[in-house]
Amino acid sequence: MRLLHLSDLHIGKQVNEFPLLEDQSRMLESVIGIIEQRNVDALVVAGDVYDRSAPSADAVACFDRFLSAVAETGAACFIVPGNHDSAERIAYAAGLLEKNDVHISPVYNGSIVSRTLTDEHGETVFWLFPFLKPALVRPFFPDEDIPDYTAAMRRVVESCDIDPARRNVAIAHQFVTCAGREPDRSDSELSLGGLDNVDASVFDAFDYVALGHIHRPQRIGRDTVRYSGSLLKYSASEIRYPKSAPLVTLGAKGEVDIELVPLIPARDMRQIKGPLKQLVSEETVAGLSKSERDDYIHVVLTDEFQPIDALSALRAVYPNVMSISFDNARATATEAAECGAIAEDVDHLDPIELFARFYHEQNGAGLTASQYETVREALEESEEDR
C-alpha cells in the first residue's frame, strides 16, 4: 500500500505581503500528478490545511478543487485539522465527503476516528488525531492526572483500540520531540516552547506516524516518524531546504519503505547577495532564466552606502523582491554596538540601514519591499522638513 504524506498547506497564506494562492494551487496540481504517476492508494494531510481558522472564499475553493481532483484519482484521502485550522469548519460536509473516500477528523469528543484500507497484505488502519491540547483532553478523563501535552496524547492513544497485528498509521499535528531533542524549526512556524512538546514514544504502537506542524522535512527519532514539511517555503529561513513529500510503501507488517518525492514550486524562494550594481548588471541578468527572475527573492545588499532607489532597480530585474537587508561593515558595526562589543557613533550610520538592522533583529526577517520603500520615503520627507 502506498501513501503520500503532506501537511502544512497553509492555503491562503501571504508571505511579506505576497499572496501565494496561485503558487499553492499549482503545487497542489503537481501533487495530483504524483498521486496518478506513482499509483498512490491514500493521501494523508496532517493538519494546517488553511493559514487561518476562517479562510477566504478563494482559499476554500482552491482546496475544494484539490479534493475533487484527489477523488477522481481513486485514492483515499485522510485529513486532520491543525492548530491554524478550525476543526469545526474543516469537518463541514464530512459525511458527504466520506462517501467519496475523503475522511476528515471531527472535533475531538473523547475518541479518535479510524478508517481501514485493505490490500494484499491485509488491513491498514489510519488513526486521525486532530490537534489536541491538554485542556481539550482533560474533560473526557476527569479522574486522571493529565499535566502536559505528552500525558494528554498518551492518554488519547491509550484509549484507541489498536490491534498490533495490523498495520497502523497515525496522522497527527503536534510538536513532537524525541528524548528531549526538538525538531529543526523555521521562522514561519508559531513559537511553541518546550511546554507544548509530545514525546515520540507516545506513538510507538504505530508503523508510520505522519506528522504536521513543523515546516522543515525531517524524521523524529526513528525513520517512520516524520514531518513532511510545508507545501512551499514560507520564510527566508527555509531557503536552503528543498520541499518534499514522503511516499510511504507499507508491505507486510513491519515492512516500511520511504521515498522523499521532491516538490518543485513554480516560483522558488531564494536569496541573492552582493552590491546592487552587480545584482542588476547586464551580465548577471543575461545568465538568469525567466523563472529565476520570477522567483521570490530576499535581497542582501553589501553596498557600504545606501543605493539610491534600490527597490526600483531590483524590481526591474526581479519583480518578486520580498525583502531587502544589508550585510556590510556598517551593519556589522551596528550589530557589534548593539551587543556591547564596541561604542559606535550611530550618527555616522545610514538611517535606513540602522532601521533595517533593527527591524531584522526584532522580527527575524528583513524589511518587505513595500516597507523598505515606505521607510525610504519617510526618511526623505524628514530630511526635506529639516
Integer Cα distance of 292 and 313 in angstroms: 17
Integer Cα distance of 87 and 289 in angstroms: 43
What stretch(es) of the chain map to CATH 3.60.21.10?
2-262
Rounded to two decimals, the pTM is 0.84
Across-strand partners of 44? Answer: 5, 78
Show the cell assigned to 201. 514514544
Show the cell assigned to 149. 501535552
The type of residue at 116 is T
Integer Cα distance of 50 and 13 in angstroms: 8
Sign of CA dihedral 369, 372, 374, 376: negative
* pLDDT by position in tens, the chain (length 386): 999 999 999 999 999 999 999 999 999 999 999 999 999 999 999 999 999 999 999 999 999 999 999 999 999 999 999 999 998 998 887 888 899 999 999 999 999 999 999 999 999 999 999 999 999 999 999 999 999 999 999 999 999 999 999 999 999 999 999 877 777 766 656 545 556 899 999 999 999 999 999 999 999 999 999 999 999 999 999 999 999 999 999 999 999 999 999 999 999 999 999 999 999 999 999 999 999 999 999 999 999 888 888 999 999 999 999 999 998 876 666 666 555 543 455 555 567 777 777 777 666 667 777 777 787 777 766 655 54
Domain covering 2-262 in this structure, CATH number: 3.60.21.10
Integer Cα distance of 141 and 322 in angstroms: 48
Place of cell 531564494: 270
